[in-house]
């Protein structure tokens, strides 16, 4: 069920509003997601509004430099970022939604350690890429009987 939620970092400098379906939450085991502990809610940009804090954000990049790992430079929270798998989307950290009940979330696991197998081929046309991403995810789910 898609709902409107607000959220942000801890110190309050970064705030956002998002239209999101909490049933779509993902957890990834890649190197940075493990350390961030992030729970992913990937939304198109028209469902995300940054209410404040653009200037408070620091961006960290590595490897392919596709993802933009944004965090609040004051409190260090990672409320959202631009993911490598969907660089035209925004990936909101469910942990940073106001009043979130962590015990109610049922994240689906994504094998980010084997990134290519999970997310499909390198970047190409958007439509084809979306199909490949969906295919990659389906293969991942089928392979593991999830």
Task: Return residues touching other proteins (CB under 8 A).
Answer: 9-11, 29, 31-32, 34-39, 58, 60, 62, 69, 71, 73-79, 93, 95-96, 100, 102, 109
Residue among 102, 105, 97 at smallest CA distance from 7: 97
Q: Closest distance between other proteins and the C-beta of residue 34, in Å? A: 5
CA 102 to chain centre: 16
Closest separation in Å from C-beta 92 to other proteins: 12
| Nearest residue (CB) to other proteins, 17 versus 36 | 36
- The three-state DSSP-derived secondary structure of 10-40 is CCCCCEEEEEEEHHHCEEECCHHHHHHCCCE
Spacing of C-alpha 37 from chain mean position: 11
Shorter beta-carbon distance to other proteins: residue 87 or 107: 107
Task: Give me the least distance between CB of 122 and other proteins, in Å please.
Answer: 22
Question: CB-wise, 1 or 102, nearer to other proteins?
Answer: 102
The strand pairing partners of 4, in sequence order, are 19
Q: Which is nearer to other proteins, 52 or 60 (CB)?
A: 60
CB of 121 to other proteins, least distance (A): 25
CB atoms closer than 10 angstroms to residue 19:
14
């Amino acid at each position: 069920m898609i709902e409107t939620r607000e959220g942000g970092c801890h110190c309050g400098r970064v705030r956002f509003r998002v239209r999101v379906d909490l049933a779509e939450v993902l957890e990834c085991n890649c190197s940075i997601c493990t350390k961030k502990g992030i729970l992913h809610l990937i939304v198109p940009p028209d469902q995300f509004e940054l209410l404040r804090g653009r200037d408070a954000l620091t961006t960290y990049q590595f490897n392919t430099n596709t993802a933009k790992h944004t965090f609040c430079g004051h409190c260090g929270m990672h409320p959202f970022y631009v993911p490598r798998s969907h660089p035209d989307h925004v990936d909101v950290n469910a942990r940073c939604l106001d009043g979130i009940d962590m015990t109610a979330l049922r994240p689906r696991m994504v094998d980010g350690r084997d990134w290519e197998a999970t997310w499909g081929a390198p970047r190409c046309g958007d439509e084809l890429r979306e199909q490949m991403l969906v295919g990659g995810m389906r293969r991942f789910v089928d392979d593991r009987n999830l």
